[in-house]
């Protein structure tokens, strides 16, 4: 299913690296930036998430909650978060339900892996409506952070 701006964001509940369940609908009243990514410990994913880490103040100033999501286990994501000193939650979509709901699953990824999250970005407003949606077919590409920041009304 393809998610587009103007649609209600599909709800989900996923576990973070501290084994707490995070439910999207419970974040109403905050903007949310969902960043789906293929796999922890890969070069482009590390570059993307470390860039967000280094610019987290921009997201905090507009009351935006950043959530990184991949199909990696909570244990893998926990080690990745610790090693990269990421300052926002990483959520495990191990069962691939959120990735499927947002239309962000590769049928086949590298090494014949099935059901890996595509790199994607979604900005969800305080009411739970998608304001920005970008799903990248090429895992080597990064989301358009200028467009994301504009959707969040981030000022530099």
Give the separation between CA 44 and CA 94, rounded to whole angstroms.
20
Which segments within the chain are labelled E, that is strand?
A: 13-16, 21-23, 31-36, 64-70, 90-92, 105-108, 114-117, 120-124, 130-135
Selecting among 14, 32, 40, 45, the annotated active-site residue is: 45
Instruction: Please confirm, yes or no, whether 50 is among the known catalytic residues.
Output: no
The pLDDT score that the predictor gives to residue 112 is 75
Alpha helices for the chain (secondary structure H): 43-54, 56-60, 74-84, 97-101, 145-152
Structural domains of the chain, ranges and CATH numbers in brackets: 36-152 (3.40.30.10)
Task: Write the pLDDT tens digit of every residue in 120-149.
Answer: 999 999 999 999 999 998 888 999 999 999
pTM above 0.85, yes or no: yes
């Amino acid at each position: 299913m393809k998610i587009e701006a103007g649609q209600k964001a599909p709800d989900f509940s996923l576990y973070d690296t501290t084994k707490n369940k995070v439910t999207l609908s419970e974040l109403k009243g905050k903007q949310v930036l969902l960043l789906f990514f293929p796999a922890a410990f890969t070069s482009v994913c590390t570059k993307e998430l470390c860039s967000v880490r280094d610019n987290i103040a921009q997201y905090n100033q507009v009351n935006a909650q950043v959530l990184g999501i991949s199909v990696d286990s909570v244990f893998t994501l926990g080690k990745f978060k610790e090693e990269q000193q990421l300052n926002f939650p990483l959520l495990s979509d191990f069962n691939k339900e959120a990735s499927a709901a947002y239309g962000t699953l590769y049928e086949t990824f590298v090494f014949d892996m099935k059901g890996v999250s595509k790199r994607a970005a979604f900005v969800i407003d305080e009411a739970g409506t998608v304001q920005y949606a970008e799903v990248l077919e090429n895992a080597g590409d990064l989301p358009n952070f200028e467009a994301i920041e504009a959707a969040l009304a981030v000022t530099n």
